[in-house]
Structure 1
Amino acid sequence: MFPKIRIKELMKIDLADGYLVDGFPSVGFSSAIATESMIQTSNFQLAGIIDSDKFPPISVVKEGKPNFPTRIFLNQELKVGIFLSYLTLEQTFHRSVAKSMLNWAKKHSIKFVVSSVAVKSPDGNEEVLAVGSTEVAREKIKESGLKLLEHGTIPGIPGTLLNEGNITGQNVIVVVFHTEGNSPDFKSSANLCSAISQLIPGTSCNIPELQKEAEKAEVVIKETEEESKHLKDSMYR
């Protein structure tokens, strides 16, 4: 039985024909850092929380205030929502999280779900590719100037989003970016943030600010992962 995911909305949400960005960490922390940086450098508001009885019971304290480790942020003007998480989830959660994300996208008539996955690249390859679940998604990729991924394997939450989107007709785009596997990897976070900005009109990346935010975000993500490690054995049974 898959873990049950709960989504609680804290404000009225209008994302019709808009975008939902998946900020769950995949390989490394670049996905979470890029989305955290986008939130900090644009006009995003806390709009909801994502929780499960099986999530590690952790509060992330920022600027003296407690926060759920997985939250929803919203820019009403741009019609962009972000699922931001400091939790690196076990494989057993991937399908449930992806399906919850797609159900939420359908509920709010979201046109595009944008996810990402890192591919380790020791040879310094920085080319950013993308894959779409539908013809509309693939056309969007071409219009943005990104290259289509022709062959490859997409694991985890992004892979599930693509497969389910292909069946249901939900437009899903997964950005495939390269990382050297080092931490913190500012370059891959910046490349990912730039690619998302190409796909979503009105969003932008302040690269110097991104590096500062990346340093702060990485500390919080690492602390959250470290604190949850000793809980995982009991929590995921």
Structure 2
Amino acid sequence: MARISVIDDEISLDEPTLVEGFPGVGLVGKIATDHMIEAHEMVHYANVHCDGLPRVTVYREGNRALTTPVRLYVDEERDLVALRSDVPVNPGAATEVAGCLESWFTETATFPIFLSGLGREKDEAPPDLYGVATGSGGDALSRADIEDPPESGLISGPTGAMLAESLERGRDAVGLVVESDPQFPDPEAARVLIRKGIDPIAGTETTTEGLVDQATEIRDAKQAFAKQMQEATEESSQAEPLKMFQ
């Protein structure tokens, strides 16, 4: 049965802003959302039970209580909600999950910010951020000075399904698209999402120093991996004369 199971009834929400964090390209949405939950010390508010989500449970270090793999966290003071997902959603189930969450969005008059990564090969330039919208969500993009997309595109997966649901119902929503690494987790792109997209729209101020450190670590790890692959290729592909008659 699809439902949002609230575990903290004392929390009161007044037309909150929601940041969606389903895993995608570069894991940018998940990284950004997880970081905001930690930075703002958001509290576990509800478990998400939707048809189409994997039937698994999650446990945390030092805590014996099981939870669902998709959960909602709240910062009541900032009227901010974050959707944290520890599992990817099968593309075939994206519509079911979107419909399940849409009913809760309607009940709570939630303004959602959907996050997605656009796979691009990385260079020294910071990743670009673009915005799309449904309903009057474009007003929020204008206030935050977020650029329109420079090319046509398609958003798929659960994020695309939820945007499609918003479009069909005429709901106000925005989608943020950031250029991100197509192969590796990309905390640098997640940082751009937060600083240039989420914070200006939601009216929050989020420290992102930890994401800078993660970006450096991942960049170093990728360089080391590339070097290992190059060395392995040199060892396995190198041709040498046998010199058996010398």
TM-score by length of 2: 0.76
Paired positions, count: 210
Q: Identify the range of structure 1 (160-169 vs 28-37) with the bigger mean alpha-carbon deviation.
A: 160-169
Residues of 1 paired with 2:52 and 2:177: CA distance?
29
Does 2:56 match 1:58? yes
CA separation of 1:90/1:189 partners in 2, compared to 1, >3 Å: closer, same or farther?
A: same
1:33 to 26, 31, 34: 31
Counterpart for residue 235 of structure 1: none
CA separation of 1:144/1:49 partners in 2, compared to 1, >3 Å: closer, same or farther?
A: same
Residues of 1 paired with 2:122 and 2:208: CA distance?
26
User: Secondary structure at 1:148's aligned position in 2?
Assistant: coil
Does 2:112 match 1:113? yes
Matches within 5 A, 1:10-29: 10-12=7-9, 13-29=11-27
Q: CA deviation at 1:54?
A: 5.5
Residues of 2 paired with 1:123 and 1:59: CA distance?
35
RMSD of aligned residue pairs (Cα, Å): 2.4
- Percent of aligned pairs with the same residue? 21
- Structure 2: tracts of 5 or more residues without a match: 218-246
1:43 to 41, 44, 55: 41
Give a deviation string over 1:67-91, Cα, whole Å, max 9, x none: 3321110111111111110101111
- 8 Å Cα contact 2:50/2:96 also seen in 1: no
Counterpart for residue 178 of structure 1: 179
Residues of 2 paired with 1:11 and 1:203: CA distance?
25
- 8 Å Cα contact 1:41/1:209 also seen in 2: no
Letter in 2 for 1:7: I
- 8 Å Cα contact 2:26/2:181 also seen in 1: no
Counterpart for residue 143 of structure 2: 143
Does 2:64 match 1:99? no
Give a deviation string over 1:140-195, Cα, whole Å, max 9, x none: 10110111226321112222222221232211111001112242322112112222
- Structure 1: tracts of 5 or more residues without a match: 216-237
Counterpart for residue 3 of structure 2: 6
- 8 Å Cα contact 1:5/1:96 also seen in 2: no
Counterpart for residue 163 of structure 2: 162
Residues of 2 paired with 1:131 and 1:32: CA distance?
19
Residues of 2 paired with 1:173 and 1:31: CA distance?
14
- 8 Å Cα contact 1:161/1:172 also seen in 2: no
Largest Rg, 1 or 2: 2
CA separation of 1:5/1:25 partners in 2, compared to 1, >3 Å: closer, same or farther?
A: farther
TM-score by length of 1: 0.79
Give a deviation string over 1:28-76, Cα, whole Å, max 9, x none: 3221111011000103110011135754443333232143321110111
CA separation of 1:6/1:210 partners in 2, compared to 1, >3 Å: closer, same or farther?
A: farther
